[in-house]
């Protein structure tokens, strides 16, 4: 008897339908039926009464079901049981500056719930340095702003939010409900630098240029306070995610106008990125990736 036989039995017992059980197990009906018959033959008892349109548990099947569930649950708990009593495990996870507080909290909470013995240490930075750190094995995984591409890297989208325009009060947009990008052509677009997230800035640059916005202003040193200053004083405008973290906090209390963009959909996407060759279980990266996939499925 193998563990798979018990898993097949439990699926059929819970669905009381071989077709639905096969779909749940991602397999064909015929091999599922054969495996269940093999189990019945080995146990020397019929577990199901099979009819044309329905399946019912026999007395032996009803007796086996709770025991089978218990065995499966205990079997599945073995890896975490071993990890919990092994050496302390630590993972370094990069997190880009504008990843939302909500996503960070959900990610850390999911890790704590699923892998209580795994300590996560956060490394804050901008997107490009974090992707570099993942690629070179310096950190296990990173939550950054996409798109991200690269040989050997894997990504999963976790969040996407609208992008808004931020301009200084008194620059002609006070009282407006929205703004079109071409209306901003007289102002430079201010950013914290191309190297923070090259692909995002390349796409943003192309988009803005297409609407006649060709002036640029770079605030050196990834200085969000400096970015807020040049915008609030009317020297430039910038773009921020509506749900952004540190950038939106930098504008708190500043005399600025935040407006949705009219006529074009601008969004900022947060993705998890990891190295494919480090994600094979067992291992810390595999555990983090499992949490990411859990969040994606929510």
What is the CATH code of the structural domain delimited by 89-158+270-296? 3.40.190.10
At residue 247, the pLDDT reads 60
pLDDT tens profile 225-248? 888 899 999 999 999 887 765 566
Q: What is the CA radius of gyration of the chain?
A: 27
Q: How many CA atoms lie within 13 A of 203 on its CB side?
A: 11
The pLDDT, as a whole number, for residue 250 is 74
**In sequence order, what DSSP letters do the residues of 139-204 get, joined into one string?**
SSEEEEESP---TTEEEEEEEEEEEEEEEETTSS-TT-S-EEGGGGTTSPEEES-GGGSHHHHHHH
CATH topology of domain 3-84: Arc Repressor Mutant, subunit A (1.10.10)
Nearest to 210 by CA among 172, 239, 235, 184: 184
pTM above 0.75, yes or no: no
**Which parts of the chain have pLDDT scores under 50?**
none
Question: Whole-angstrom Cα distance, residue 162 to residue 149?
Answer: 22
Q: H or E stretch including 77?
A: helix 59-84
Q: What is the pLDDT of residue 56?
A: 93
| pLDDT in the model for residue 97 | 79
Structural domain spans, the chain: 3-84, 89-158+270-296, 160-267
Say what the pLDDT of residue 86 is: 66
Q: Given this model, what pLDDT does residue 234 score?
A: 94
Per-residue pLDDT at 81: 77
> According to the model, what pLDDT value does residue 87 have?
66
> What does CATH list as the number for 160-267?
3.40.190.10
Q: Which residue has the tokens 């969000």?
A: 224
Whether 160-267 and 89-158+270-296 are alike in CATH topology: the answer is yes
User: What span, in angstroms and rounded, lies between the C-alpha atoms of 123 and 143?
Assistant: 10
């Amino acid at each position: 008897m193998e563990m798979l036989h018990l898993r097949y039995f439990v699926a059929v017992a819970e669905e009381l339908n071989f077709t639905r059980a096969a779909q749940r197990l991602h397999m064909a009906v015929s091999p599922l039926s054969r495996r269940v018959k093999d189990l019945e033959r080995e146990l020397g008892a019929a577990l199901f009464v099979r009819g044309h349109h329905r399946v019912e548990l026999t007395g032996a099947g009803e007796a086996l079901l709770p025991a089978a569930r218990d065995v499966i649950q205990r079997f599945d708990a073995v890896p975490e049981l071993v990890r919990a009593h092994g050496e302390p495990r630590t993972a370094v996870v990069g997190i880009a500056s504008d990843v939302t507080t909500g996503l960070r909290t959900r990610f850390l909470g999911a890790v704590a719930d699923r892998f209580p013995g795994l300590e996560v240490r956060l490394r804050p930075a901008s997107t490009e340095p974090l992707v570099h750190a993942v690629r070179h094995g310096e950190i296990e995984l990173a939550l950054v702003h996409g798109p991200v591409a690269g040989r050997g890297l894997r990504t999963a989208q976790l969040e996407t939010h609208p992008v808004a325009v931020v301009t200084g009060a008194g620059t002609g947009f006070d009282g407006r409900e929205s703004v079109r990008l071409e209306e901003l052509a007289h102002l430079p677009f201010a950013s914290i630098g191309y190297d923070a997230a090259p692909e995002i800035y390349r796409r943003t640059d192309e988009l803005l240029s297409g609407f006649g916005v060709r002036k640029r202003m770079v605030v050196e040193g990834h200085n969000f306070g400096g970015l807020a200053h040049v915008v609030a004083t009317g020297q430039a405008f910038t773009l921020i995610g509506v749900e952004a973290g540190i950038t939106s906090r930098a504008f708190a209390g500043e005399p600025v106008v935040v407006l949705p963009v009219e006529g074009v959909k601008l969004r900022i996407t947060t993705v998890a990125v990891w190295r494919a060759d480090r994600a094979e279980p067992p291992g810390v990266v595999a555990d983090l990736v499992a949490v990411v996939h859990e969040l994606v499925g929510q």
